[in-house]
Each structure stands twice: as structure tokens, then as C-alpha cells.
Chains A and B, each alone.
Chain A
């Protein structure tokens, strides 16, 4: 058993070397900023003050059941087929707000992070509470 722990310790130490090289090659992993979130109220206010592009990161079925007016779909899974319409609609400088189902979904963060990383879009937010928060705010 002590031999097993010695081997385990060696494996832990060995892993530091490639991990360190990977960190040196990909320093952006440390500057990975989480995408800022925006409340429904602030999002609506922003929408009144400036042009906002709403992106729905849910599946087609959920989108068909209901979505934010003028929102267009973009998901991580259908990125290649859905990105072109998004790029044709978006104008440089326009704020993007991405949403998914609810607070505990991460599809919106994934899509927003990908838009930020691959296209360099800076003014991008994730809607706090997602579609359910939007629906609740607009029902009452």
C-alpha cells in the first residue's frame, strides 16, 4: 500500500508539468471572465434606450412554444447552421442578450462565451432567470 501512495504522489507531481505548459500556451484560461448577467428590468430598459439583439439558446421546440419578441435562435449544438442568420441580423456595436430556460441552465452562458471568444463581441449579456423570468415579468 505505501508503494501505491508513492506512485499516486508521483502521478500528482508529473501532471504539474503538462498542466503548466498548457497554462503557458493558453493563458486565456486565467482571463476567462464570466459573462455578465442582466436582469429582465434592466434588459427591457436597455432595449428601450438602444438596439438589442435577443438570442434564444433553447431548442426549436421550446422556441416555438414562446420566445422574447424578435429573438433569434442560436445554440451550441446547431452553431454552424444558425450562426449566419445571427451575423446577418447583428450590427457592430449592438448589445446582445442571450437567454435559455431558467436560472439553472447554462446554454446561454455557453453561447454567449462562444460569441465573445470566436467573434470578439464585447457587449454581451446573459439574461438572469432566462425565459421563465422574462415570462413572469411580462405576465404580471
Chain B
């Protein structure tokens, strides 16, 4: 997969990895603030919020590291797809309900512009989809190539 990856896709993957690493680290250093930010969305039961605040930032960090590695890259793309989808659901629901909250995307205290955050989440989701489709399609293409060579 790495050999067939275009330069543009490689740069975008690095950018996505950096984004997950930065946002994950900012949230991981302040789990109490992260819990507050998650709670402000009023989407999760209160009992789950602290666990999510502790766990999700590390998933983001690991996602960033996996996207940079060659061994766990496929899992990294899948995790990026999952995380981006969850972020988009949270942001869109806040927008629909007209919540005047900070997104909590870059740690606490940052007053994120929710429409822009939704746009960023959509871009991340699209990129992750492209990344996942890369390795879903790759084995099929390889099989077709070997079949045509044999034929």
C-alpha cells in the first residue's frame, strides 16, 4: 500500500496524523476540562463522560501514531474514519440544537466556531474514507493484475 500511495495522499496522511496527535495531546493533559467539554454536548450519560474523557484522547494519539507507522496504518485509517464520524455527529448535533458551546476540539477554553469545525470534521471524514478505500481496493487490484498476467 505504501508504494502505491501518491505524494499528495502521503502529505495529507501526515497532516491528519499531526492533527490527531495535537488534539489528542491537548485533551489528554486536561481530562477534567475534556470531561466538561464532552458533557456540554449533552449527548452521553453523565456516568460515561469521565471514561470517554480519559479514553478518547488516547485513541486520537494512537490514531495519529498508527497513521505514521507502516505496521498499523490500516487500523489507523479505520480509527480515523470512526473518530471523524463521531466528531461530526457531535458537532452537527450541537449546531442543530443551537448550543452555544466551545467545541473542545483543541482542549478547553478555545471557543471553536462550530460550522468551521463541522467543515473540518467533514474533510477529515472524506480523507479517512479515501484512506480506507485505498487498502480495500488494493488487494482486489493486485488479484486482477496477477490474473491478467497469468492470462
Contact = CB atoms under 8 A, between A and B. Distances in A.
Given A11-B66, A29-B32, A3 B74 contact: yes
B100 to A, nearest CB: 4
Given A4-B78, A7-B66, A104-B97, A76 B59 contact: no
Given A19-B58, A29-B50, A8 B75 contact: yes
A56 interface: no
B80 to A, nearest CB: 10
Given A32-B50, A104-B99, A105-B101, A15 B32 contact: no
B75 A110 contact: no
B130 interface: no
B98 interface: yes
A39 to B, nearest CB: 19
A104 B63 contact: no
Interface string A1-19: 1011111111110111011
A11 to B, nearest CB: 5
Given A8-B79, A22-B28, A106 B72 contact: no
Contacts, number: 107
Between A4, A14, A76, the greatest number of chain B beta carbons within 10 A of the residue's beta carbon is seen for A4
A77 B109 contact: yes
Interface residues of B, number: 44
Interface in A14-67: 14-16, 18-20, 22-23, 26, 28-30, 32, 34
Chain A interface mostly helix, strand, loop or mixed? helix
B72 A15 contact: no
Contacts of A105: 100-101
Interface of B: 28, 31-32, 35-36, 39-40, 46, 49-51, 53-55, 57-59, 61-63, 66, 71-79, 82, 97-102, 108-109, 111, 132, 135-136, 139
19 contacts: A1-B135, A6-B75, A7-B66, A7-B74, A10-B72, A11-B72, A14-B62, A16-B55, A18-B58, A19-B51, A20-B54, A26-B32, A28-B32, A32-B36, A102-B100, A104-B99, A106-B102, A107-B100, A109-B40
